[in-house]
Amino acid sequence: MHILIANDDGYLAPGLLALVNALRPLGQVTVIAPEQNHSGASNSLTLSRPLTVTRVAGGERDNFLYVNGTPTDCVHIALTGLLETKPDIVVSGINQGENMGEDVLYSGTVAAAIEGVMFGIPAIAFSQVDKGWGGLEDAAQIARDIVIAQIENPVDGHLLPDEKPTLLNVNIPNRAYADLQSWRVTRLGNRHHSQDVIMQHSPRGEPIYWIGPPGIARDATEGTDFHAIQHGQVSITPLQLDLSHVVTRQHMLESNWNKN
């Protein structure tokens, strides 16, 4: 088993190290992560400058690779030339903070996993709900359990050869391992709009803006990721890359939008 591990908090993040240590017993592990924190980077690729890959020598992160780019850069480089053998699974995280609802469209953690799926490799993105790394080792053990479950009972076993594998987006409450045995397969919930930007002034008196906090949950009904987390359960949401709005497309076809 060859596991490629990435993240968006950077190669020095405690969540990455905890995940690597938890997954090492499962097989060969390759780590390639951003040099700096790239939270909110989504699926961005760096096209305006060359990228460098640096290998850590010594210490608890020995042989970690880091890239002066985005989470997507890391996985893309790994799969398009850096690795001699294709990994069996791509794992991203453990992120500091939840990635639920519309968060997945912004998340660098999820984006790193998406890049694996785009190359036909099953992937899992892991996030801890609360920031601060509380209960991190417990979260890492649950992540290991879920990776093992995917290996032993793949969710993609029914796919046709030309179909993309599924991405699992996993959010883990900051709780003790014994209290994390309840898992729920969920769908994405929904948030209210983000809160207003925060306007300040630079030392020169110029207005500067900080992106405001995310909105509160609007759809946290049973079956959503928000609902599972509110009840202290691990949320596992299968995601697909096809953003096509199937119902609207069918309506447009029936309404003669096609023109010859």
pLDDT in tens, 33-73: 999 988 888 989 999 999 999 999 999 999 999 999 999 99
Instruction: Record the tokens describing residue 111, joined without a space.
Output: 């984006």
Q: Is 249 exposed, middle or buried (0-12, 13-18, 19+ CB in 10 A)?
A: exposed
Range with the poorest average pLDDT among 34-43, 50-59, 155-164, 204-213: 155-164
- Whether 131 is in a domain gets the answer yes
Whole-angstrom CA distances from 201 to 30, 194, 210, 211 are: 44, 22, 11, 14
Which CATH number do you get for residue 52? 3.40.1210.10
11 touches 34 (CB < 8 A): yes
- Beta-carbon neighbour count of residue 27 at 10 Å? 13
Residue 216, pLDDT score: 79
C-alpha 1/C-alpha 152 separation (Å) is 12
Please indicate, yes or no, if residue 17 is contained in any of the structural domains.
Answer: yes
Looking at the domain assignment, is residue 23 inside a domain? yes
pTM of the model: 0.92
∠ CA 243-245-248, rounded to 5°: 165
Q: For residue 209, tell me if it sits in a domain.
A: no
Residue 179 lies in a domain: yes
Q: Does residue 237 form part of some domain?
A: yes
Amino acid at 32: I
| Alpha-helical regions (H) of 48-119 | 71-77, 103-106, 108-118
- Give the pLDDT band (50/70/90) at residue 164: confident
Using the predicted structure, report yes or no on whether residue 168 has a pLDDT greater than 80: yes
Classify burial at 153, counting beta carbons within 10 Å of its beta carbon; exposed 0-12, middle 13-18, buried 19 or more: exposed
Q: How many domains does the chain have?
A: 1
- Residue 206 in any domain: the answer is no
Q: What is the span of the domain harbouring residue 238?
A: 2-191+217-254
Residue 224 counted as domain residue = yes
Kindly state the average pLDDT of the residues 136-143: 98
> Is the confidence at residue 78, as pLDDT, over 90?
yes
